[in-house]
Amino acid sequence: MFFVFVLIGFLLNKNFKYIEALAMLTLFKYGTWAVVMNILTFIHGQPVSLMAMMLIVSHGAMAIQAYYIHHSLKLK
Protein backbone atom coordinates (compact mmCIF):
# COMPACT_ATOMS: atom_id res chain seq x y z
CA MET A 1 0.00 0.00 0.00
CA PHE A 2 2.74 2.47 0.89
CA PHE A 3 4.66 1.58 -2.27
CA VAL A 4 1.59 2.52 -4.34
CA PHE A 5 1.59 5.96 -2.67
CA VAL A 6 5.29 6.31 -3.48
CA LEU A 7 4.56 5.51 -7.12
CA ILE A 8 1.72 8.05 -7.18
CA GLY A 9 4.05 10.66 -5.70
CA PHE A 10 6.64 9.80 -8.34
CA LEU A 11 4.07 10.31 -11.09
CA LEU A 12 3.00 13.64 -9.55
CA ASN A 13 6.67 14.66 -9.10
CA LYS A 14 6.24 14.97 -5.31
CA ASN A 15 8.10 13.38 -2.44
CA PHE A 16 6.26 12.00 0.56
CA LYS A 17 9.24 11.44 2.83
CA TYR A 18 7.60 9.46 5.60
CA ILE A 19 5.47 7.38 3.25
CA GLU A 20 8.64 6.50 1.33
CA ALA A 21 10.31 5.42 4.56
CA LEU A 22 7.28 3.32 5.54
CA ALA A 23 7.24 1.75 2.09
CA MET A 24 10.89 0.79 2.36
CA LEU A 25 10.54 -0.66 5.84
CA THR A 26 7.37 -2.64 5.14
CA LEU A 27 8.66 -3.99 1.83
CA PHE A 28 11.81 -5.22 3.53
CA LYS A 29 10.03 -6.57 6.62
CA TYR A 30 7.27 -8.51 4.87
CA GLY A 31 9.51 -9.56 2.01
CA THR A 32 12.13 -11.18 4.21
CA TRP A 33 9.58 -12.50 6.72
CA ALA A 34 7.64 -14.44 4.07
CA VAL A 35 10.81 -15.90 2.55
CA VAL A 36 12.15 -17.02 5.93
CA MET A 37 8.82 -18.50 7.05
CA ASN A 38 8.39 -20.48 3.83
CA ILE A 39 11.91 -21.84 4.05
CA LEU A 40 11.31 -22.84 7.67
CA THR A 41 8.17 -24.75 6.68
CA PHE A 42 10.24 -26.66 4.12
CA ILE A 43 12.83 -27.48 6.78
CA HIS A 44 10.11 -28.84 9.10
CA GLY A 45 8.80 -31.26 6.52
CA GLN A 46 6.12 -29.38 4.58
CA PRO A 47 6.21 -30.39 0.91
CA VAL A 48 7.59 -27.85 -1.55
CA SER A 49 4.76 -26.62 -3.73
CA LEU A 50 4.71 -24.33 -6.74
CA MET A 51 2.67 -21.75 -4.81
CA ALA A 52 5.21 -21.66 -1.98
CA MET A 53 8.04 -21.17 -4.47
CA MET A 54 6.09 -18.35 -6.12
CA LEU A 55 5.63 -16.72 -2.71
CA ILE A 56 9.35 -16.95 -2.03
CA VAL A 57 10.21 -15.34 -5.36
CA SER A 58 7.59 -12.58 -5.18
CA HIS A 59 8.30 -11.65 -1.56
CA GLY A 60 12.02 -11.81 -2.20
CA ALA A 61 11.42 -9.26 -4.97
CA MET A 62 9.70 -7.05 -2.38
CA ALA A 63 12.87 -7.04 -0.28
CA ILE A 64 14.91 -6.16 -3.37
CA GLN A 65 12.53 -3.26 -4.10
CA ALA A 66 13.22 -1.94 -0.60
CA TYR A 67 16.92 -1.85 -1.45
CA TYR A 68 16.23 0.27 -4.53
CA ILE A 69 13.84 2.59 -2.71
CA HIS A 70 16.31 3.47 0.03
CA HIS A 71 18.61 5.11 -2.53
CA SER A 72 15.92 7.62 -3.48
CA LEU A 73 14.81 8.57 0.05
CA LYS A 74 15.14 12.23 0.88
CA LEU A 75 14.98 11.85 4.69
CA LYS A 76 17.58 13.72 6.69
Write down the pLDDT at residue 24: 87
Beta-carbon contacts of residue 34 (< 8 Å; ≥ 6 apart): 55, 56, 59, 62
How far lies 47's CA from each of 43, 52, 60, in Å?
9, 9, 20
Give residue 32's pLDDT band: very low, low, confident or very high (50, 70, 90).
very high
Render pLDDT for 8-22 as a digit per residue (tens, 0 to 9).
Answer: 988 998 878 888 888
Residue that wins the pLDDT comparison between 15 and 75: 15
pTM: 0.72
